[in-house]
Amino acid sequence: MGWLAPALLIMAQAAPAGAPANVDRSRIDPGVAAQVPKIAEKLRDWRGGWGAVGDKLACKTVRSSGDEEIDAIGCYATLSCVKPAYPELKAIADGKGTEDEKKARMRAHLDGLQTCMTQYRGQGIAALARKRGGAK
């Protein structure tokens, strides 16, 4: 299972960090709205990976965005999406097949986590933007 975490690291790097496009911006506090692109841009620089010991999952920042709260968004999204998928990911990694076959099955499964990563990153960006933008 040595390549499982690096495979997800690649997936975590590829996930877009933007906020939903269908938001009615007229109802958003301007201070909060100004924070969203700043946070999203910094999150694009973040790189992280995850690992498992037994049933415990952990995330580590490999390349920081320069902002601990933004780095936490990356790890939050990664772990939130990996946790429910982990049993299947582990079964693939520990199962039968060549390394290439396992990698192909893993890639197919990880592709399905992109929507999850985008959703959790968007939630994290929104929460931090509200905090930093002064929204009540």
pLDDT by residue for the chain (136 residues), tens digit each? 454 444 444 444 445 445 455 566 667 788 899 999 999 999 999 999 888 887 789 999 999 999 999 999 999 999 999 999 999 999 999 999 999 999 899 889 888 998 999 999 999 999 999 999 876 5
Burial of 47 (0-12, 13-18, 19+ CB in 10 A): middle
**Are the beta carbons of 35 and 133 closer than 8 angstroms?**
yes
- The per-residue pLDDT for 3 is 43
* All residues at 6 or more sequence positions from 51 whose CB lies less than 8 Å from its CB, including other chains: 5, 57, 58, 60
pTM listed for this prediction: 0.76
> Taking every pair of C-alpha atoms in the chain, what is the biggest distance, in angstroms?
54
| Rounded distance between C-alpha atoms, residue 45 and residue 17, angstroms | 10
Residue 110 in 3-state DSSP?
A: helix
pLDDT number for residue 22: 59
Q: Where are the beta strands (DSSP E) in the chain?
A: 47-53, 56-63
pLDDT attached to residue 23: 60
- What is the reported pLDDT for 55? 79
